[in-house]
Amino acid sequence: MAFLFLCDAVRGAVFAETFSKLLPDVSFAMAADEVAPEDVRFIMTWNPPPDLHRYPNLRAVFCIGAGVDQFAGSVMPPGVKLVRMVDDGITRMVAEYVAMAVLALHRNLHHYIDHQRRHHWMAVTPQVQAAARRVSIMGTGVLGQAALDKLKVFGFDLSGWNRSQHSIEGVSCYNGADGLREMLYRTDILVCLLPLNAGTAGILNGDLFAALPGGASLVHAGRGRQLDVDALMSSLDTGRLSGAFLDVTDPEPLPADHRLWKHPRVVITPHVAAITQADSAALTTVNNIKRLISGRDPIGIVDPSALSWDGSRTAAEHIKAI
């Protein structure tokens, strides 16, 4: 029984050590030619390997990241499970990033960065108190709930939206098209943590921005293809939006001459909201393999068919009603 690690060697070394201590009966390989295809039961990767069918006894493909939209269109062999990384290290980093970005927008840091570039000493007034700042998160799964917990300490008026109904203490929860529309109308800082799929591709569009109060701002840490850049630029230029923190773009990396780089009210980070931490991710993976060996489903299992989406769609169906 073998585990094939098709990611970087640095993290692979950490995984190898963890496997040797906690799963000594599972051999660990970091290259396909190091192991017989029939021995491979588990594969960890970022991009879907094109030759999965050469492993007749494969049971699961583990993605080293939390997002798995890169597997859209991939065909898993019958009976092979696709598993995304659900790890405490990733969750903590996303929650930290959201708190950082929300606080930066709340305290007008994007304006002060622009002022500094222009050698302009001037306070942005008035400064809204946290209790009067309405912060909403689209996507209240594991990551969204962790971010909301992190924001509670500051006293923000918090809301969350999900496709299905959730109940979170201290948070106004919304679901469905009507719920999304209602939440947007009362949002000053909108955070997107949604996965990319047919329902969320292009969801951050002109219709959505128009539903926000004038002067609202955006934190985007979902996926680049969810954002209509032209609509964002137009909303910023007209004042509909006052600022944006972007951790994801389309394409990535963002070309050096892309106009987003120079927009005075946009802060860009290079997809660093969460970076898989090898030590905690290795433990998470070991625990999932133990679950599989004992006949249980792993944590983070994904339905590959749900990842397929038509790239020509520029708005999610539930936004069209706005």
Closest CA to 127 of 109, 157, 107: 107
CA distance 319 to 322: 6
Active site residue 271: yes
From the list 223, 225, 263, 318, the catalytic residue is 223
Could you give the C-alpha distances from 59 to 5, 11, 90, 123, 313, in angstroms and in order?
14, 22, 24, 58, 34
Told to judge if 111 belongs to the known catalytic residues of this protein, a careful annotator would answer: no
- Distance (Å, rounded) from C-alpha 222 to C-alpha 194? 5
Which of 102-131 are b and which e, b meaning 16 or more Cβ less than 10 Å from the residue's Cβ? bebbbebbbbbebbeeeeeeeeeeeeeebe
Cα–Cα dist 150/105, whole Å: 16
- Can you tell me the distance from the alpha carbon of 296 to that of 276, in angstroms, rounded to the nearest whole number? 24
State the residue for tokens 């930066």: 104
Nearest to 303 by CA among 115, 120, 135, 83: 83
User: Rounded to an integer, what distance in angstroms lies between the CA atom of residue 34 and that of residue 230?
Assistant: 48
Tell me if residue 61 falls in helix, strand or coil.
strand
CA of 66: how far to CAs of 69, 91, 114, 281, in Å? 10, 9, 33, 11
Distance CA 143, CA 84 (A): 13
Contact criterion met (CB below 8 Å) for 218 and 245? yes
At residue 288, φ and ψ (nearest 5 deg) are -70, -40
Q: Which two tokens stand for residue 219?
A: 């934190």
Residue type at position 300 = G
Structure-block tokens of residue 63: 């993605």
Q: Residue 68 in contact with residue 48, Cβ under 8 Å? A: no
Which of the residues are catalytic? 223, 271
